[in-house]
């Protein structure tokens, strides 16, 4: 640190000395001439263009990133993050809340049409519920602390003022960094437990053609343990969750990965022309923007999931609370799964799942 400061100080001192001993440089600047009047191998214009386009020089410092004086992509990164990512992410979040509200007004709470049977069937064992709530609980906290990093300065700062906002943000950063690992654990566990129920099948097509039966009363498309909508949520959560985890780790341990250069190289095989000679800083910028886009997309989808799993559908939340769901609920939403369970029970009196 002291060494870096000393080198920086020396550089500033030498540059100032050069300007003082050569007053024509500052005069040239005022009169609009290119300073230096170089007639050597490289003109000043070439030199400044080289620096302006983010090229690295050589440095005495150990940190190779400090050899880049101007990193123009930083401007682009900032403009994308504070521009379209924040704007469309925010619109998406508000949009889904508005849509769900409109859907609730139109359809109300989806009831168990045949009435509650009063008899239950085990849908999720304790380990399933543990995996779900580990993943869900950490996701919600990661989402809130992540949203603060994008929108906090517009929403919370004016309300709480700089001191409280700083405390919230620093605390949020720790929550975000540490809970990332419990999210990954929950995600991995849910994947292991549920992947076999989420393999696409022909029945899913039936379910999709009937719009999942959620728009009209009396429509109950066939489904096994998970219907087509849930399978989509499962795969998007798994793939998006993995992607957000990998880019998050790259943000936590910066300048160590080449994931974007490697992915771009793979995509270029398909005929794309993406840049593959990314600097460590550019990798980091891609990681950050990607982390933001994927997590905002996941949040938008998960808000809809939370709605249908709680206020939107009678009886659904029991599956993740006690694990026991009403038999009539199960017959209406997962008829083939109930059949399967009944057959298993007949051939094996032990509770199957």
Comparison of 56 and 336: residue with beta carbon closer to ligand HEM: 336
Comparison of 172 and 309: residue with beta carbon closer to ligand HEM: 309
In the list 44, 317, 323, 335, the residue contacting ligand HEM (rule: CB under 6 A) is: 317
Q: Looking at 37-45, 55-63, 164-172, 316-324, which segment touches ligand HEM (CB under 6 A)?
A: 316-324
For residue 185, state whether it binds ligand HEM (rule: CB under 6 A): no
135-153 burial, b at 16+ Cβ within 10 Å, e below that, comes to bbebbebbbebbbbebebe
Contacts (CB under 6 A) with ligand HEM, residues 194-223: none
Burial class (CB in 10 A: 0-12, 13-18, 19+), 178: exposed
Residue 110 CB, nearest approach to ligand HEM (Å): 13
Residue 353 CB, nearest approach to ligand HEM (Å): 12
In the list 234, 242, 246, 280, the residue contacting ligand HEM (rule: CB under 6 A) is: 234
- Provide the 10 A C-beta neighbour count for residue 164: 12
Beta bridge partners of 56: 68
In the list 135, 259, 261, 293, the residue contacting ligand HEM (rule: CB under 6 A) is: 135
The DSSP annotation for 67-98 comes to GBS--THHHHHHHHIIIIIHHHHHHHHHHHHH
Burial class (CB in 10 A: 0-12, 13-18, 19+), 228: buried
Contacts (CB under 6 A) with ligand HEM, residues 294-313: 302, 305-306, 309-310
For residue 224, state whether it binds ligand HEM (rule: CB under 6 A): no
Q: Count the site residues for ligand HEM by CB under 6 A.
A: 21
Q: What is the CA radius of gyration of the chain?
A: 28
Residue 53 CB, nearest approach to ligand HEM (Å): 41
For residue 316, state whether it binds ligand HEM (rule: CB under 6 A): yes
Comparison of 60 and 322: residue with beta carbon closer to ligand HEM: 322
184-208 burial, b at 16+ Cβ within 10 Å, e below that, comes to bebbbbbbebbeeebeeeeebeebe
Beta bridge partners of 121: 325
CA distance 338 to 125: 16
- Provide the 10 A C-beta neighbour count for residue 82: 11
From residue 38 to residue 67, the character string flagging contacts with ligand HEM as x (rule: CB under 6 A) and all else as - is ------------------------------
For residue 139, state whether it binds ligand HEM (rule: CB under 6 A): yes
Residue 228 CB, nearest approach to ligand HEM (Å): 10
In Å, how far from its chain's centre is CA 238? 12
| Local structure of 352: helix, strand or coil | coil
Residue 1 CB, nearest approach to ligand HEM (Å): 41
Q: Looking at 113-121, 132-140, 155-163, 216-224, which segment touches ligand HEM (CB under 6 A)?
A: 132-140
Query: Is the Cβ–Cβ distance between 315 and 205 less than 8 Å?
Result: no
In the list 147, 233, 293, 341, the residue contacting ligand HEM (rule: CB under 6 A) is: 233
Q: What is the enclosing helix (H) or strand (E) of 121?
A: strand 120-122
For residue 117, state whether it binds ligand HEM (rule: CB under 6 A): no
Comparison of 237 and 279: residue with beta carbon closer to ligand HEM: 237
Residue with tokens 């302006």: 52
Comparison of 154 and 235: residue with beta carbon closer to ligand HEM: 235
From residue 142 to residue 181, the character string flagging contacts with ligand HEM as x (rule: CB under 6 A) and all else as - is ----------------------------------------
- Provide the 10 A C-beta neighbour count for residue 254: 14
Interface with ligand HEM by CB under 6 A: which residues?
123, 132, 135-136, 139-140, 190, 226, 230, 233-234, 237, 302, 305-306, 309-310, 316-317, 319-320
């Amino acid at each position: 640190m002291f060494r870096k400061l000393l080198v920086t100080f020396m550089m500033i001192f030498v540059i100032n000395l050069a300007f003082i001993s050569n007053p024509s440089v500052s005069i040239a600047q005022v009169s609009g001439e290119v300073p230096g009047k170089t007639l050597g191998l490289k003109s000043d214009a070439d030199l400044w263009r080289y620096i302006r386009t983010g090229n690295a020089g050589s440095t005495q410092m150990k940190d190779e990133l400090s050899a880049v004086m101007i990193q123009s992509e930083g401007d682009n990164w900032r403009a994308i993050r504070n521009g379209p990512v924040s704007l469309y992410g925010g619109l998406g979040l508000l949009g889904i809340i508005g849509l769900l509200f409109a859907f609730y007004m139109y359809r109300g709470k989806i009831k168990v049409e045949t009435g509650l049977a009063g008899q239950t069937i085990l849908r999720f064992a304790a380990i399933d519920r543990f995996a779900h709530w580990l993943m869900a609980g950490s996701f919600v906290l990661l989402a809130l602390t992540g949203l603060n990093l994008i929108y906090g300065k517009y929403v919370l700062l004016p309300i709480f003022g700089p001191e409280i906002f700083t405390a919230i943000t620093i605390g949020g950063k720790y929550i975000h960094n540490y809970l990332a690992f419990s999210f990954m654990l929950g995600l991995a566990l849910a994947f292991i437990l549920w992947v076999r129920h989420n393999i696409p099948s022909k029945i899913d097509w039936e379910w999709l053609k009937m719009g999942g039966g959620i728009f009209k009363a009396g429509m109950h498309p066939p489904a096994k343990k998970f219907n087509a909508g849930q399978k989509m949520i499962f795969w998007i959560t798994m793939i998006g969750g993995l992607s957000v985890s990998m880019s998050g780790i790259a943000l936590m341990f910066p300048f160590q990965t080449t994931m974007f250069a490697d992915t771009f190289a793979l995509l270029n095989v398909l005929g794309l022309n993406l840049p593959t000679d990314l600097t460590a800083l550019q990798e980091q910028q891609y990681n950050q923007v990607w982390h933001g886009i994927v997590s905002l997309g996941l949040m938008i989808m998960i808000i809809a999931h939370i709605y249908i799993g709680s206020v939107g559908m009678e009886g659904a939340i029991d599956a993740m609370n006690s694990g026991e769901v009403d038999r009539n609920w199960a017959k209406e939403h997962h008829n083939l799964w109930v059949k399967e369970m009944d057959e298993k029970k007949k051939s094996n009196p032990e509770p199957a799942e």
